[in-house]
Structure 1
């Protein structure tokens, strides 16, 4: 009985590895920010102060952390839609950064920088080829 050869996995291209690391860094940073926001909300509530929309913002951050972590994990699983999901998340991050800038928060520049950086890495030709070869097999000439 002959056994079919075990396919060797195609290694992740460097731009994709870098994008994945940045996504994890973003997820951790946003997670830490969310913890700080919940602490601030709890402190305000302990002093009978209004929290208003501040509470909703913390919930949205938790969802964003989950989406970022899921996106980074999808790269390892080699799912093509992982890149699309990451690009959507980064587009939303850029939009949030623009809104922060309009409202006077210069930290929006960092969000925009992350979004542009990750998007340019994910749209790199090496990454596109990797997704094609990983999902549909090697390119045929």
Structure 2
């Protein structure tokens, strides 16, 4: 059970990072790896999902609107199945995410995906976030009240 939880955490972390990375960045990282043989279980496709909200955060549910998503599913020759979902119309990115998800589940590919794809993209995201925070902090204005000399 503990091993299953660790695997779920690995997959969750990888999907979070890959969802925020660009298609080009993921492709560039995967180009340096020996990719296993795989086939599409579900060809990459675009569709719509309904976004739901709740009044006041915990009240009655209501439909906010629709969002475009792309999804894909692949199976490695060794049997692992990976899924990729991404907001927007980037079916190729969804397929790459599905491939990464399947490879993370494979004992022979887990380490290479985590060290050569997920970790560098995560570091790149962290650096970008810190840079944006520094830019925002540079424009911060500190307001204070001056005490007048009148009595």
TM-score, normalised by the number of residues in structure 2? 0.32
Q: Which has the higher helix share?
A: 1
Q: Which has the higher contact order (CA 8 A, sep 6+)?
A: 1
* Structure of higher CA gyration radius: 2
